[in-house]
Amino acid sequence: MSRLVYVLNGPNLNLLGKRQPQIYGHETLADVEAACREVAAAAGLEIRFHQSNAEFQIIDLIHEARETAAGIVINPGALTHTSVAILDALNAFEPPVFEVHISNVHKREAFRRHSYVSLRADGVIAGFGTQGYELALLRLARLLEADG
Ligand code: CA2
């Protein structure tokens, strides 16, 4: 049984730790990747960690995940609020999908409260900072254990 999890990050998340630390904190995306790798290794998961500013690349990665992955953790960035195409790609992916937002999107502008991805996600984490990625990976590991 696959223990491979795709951790996908959308537009502008490459700027993490470099701008707007009051909203997104001081950790860089490289820090997030390192923390995810540590949690994944301890939980017996393998991860593929990606960031792209291009919607089509995220869709291609979701398609790639369909072949091999046991789950997806995705922070689609602003595409959360706009992308029916990412929703459609996730709808074609059967294993669990967890949506992560570093900030509490419900405490911000009204347009951030709507997520196309939440129509597919099995769970949503928002406002837990970059720790949200780690929590989503732990949940996936638990679900995979239960599956045997
Ligand atoms: O809170 C989140 O994780 C978001 O997905 C981040 C997106 C935003 O559009 C969503 O509404 C909520 C923005 C990602 C941009 O990240 C930056 C990080 C540092 C500096 C500038 C942008």
Q: How far apart are CA 8 and CA 115, in angstroms?
A: 16
What pLDDT, on the 0 to 100 scale, is given for residue 12?
98
pLDDT of residue 33: 98
Catalytic hit among 6, 24, 116, 133: 24
Task: Give the per-residue pLDDT at 148.
Answer: 67
**Ligand 1, atom 13, residue with closest C-alpha:** 77
pTM above 0.95, yes or no: yes
**Ligand 1 binding pocket includes 51 (Cβ within 6 Å):** no
What's the pLDDT at 19? 87
The DSSP bridge partners found for residue 126 are: 101
For the CA of 112, the nearest atom of ligand 1: 11
- Choice among 50, 63, 81, 101 that is catalytic: 101
Strand order across the beta sheet in which 4-9 lies: 46-51, 4-9, 71-75, 97-101, 123-126
Q: Is 24 a catalytic residue?
A: yes
Which pair of structure tokens corresponds to residue 141?
Answer: 């590991």
C-alpha closest to that of 118 among 82, 63, 80, 61: 80
Residue 31: name the closest of 5, 55, 49 by CA: 49
Instruction: Give the mean pLDDT per block of 10 residues along the chain (148 residues).
Output: 95 95 94 98 98 98 97 98 98 98 98 98 98 98 89
Q: Which pLDDT belongs to residue 1?
A: 78
Ligand 1 pocket, residue 9 CB under 6 Å: no
Q: Is 101 a catalytic residue?
A: yes
Q: Given this model, what pLDDT does residue 147 score?
A: 81
pLDDT of residue 97: 98
Q: Look at residue 146 in the predicted model and tell me its pLDDT.
A: 85
Residue with tokens 């939440």: 118
11 Cα to the center of ligand 1, angstroms: 8
pLDDT of residue 143: 96
Cβ–Cβ under 8 Å, residues 133 and 7 = yes
pLDDT given for residue 141 in this prediction = 97
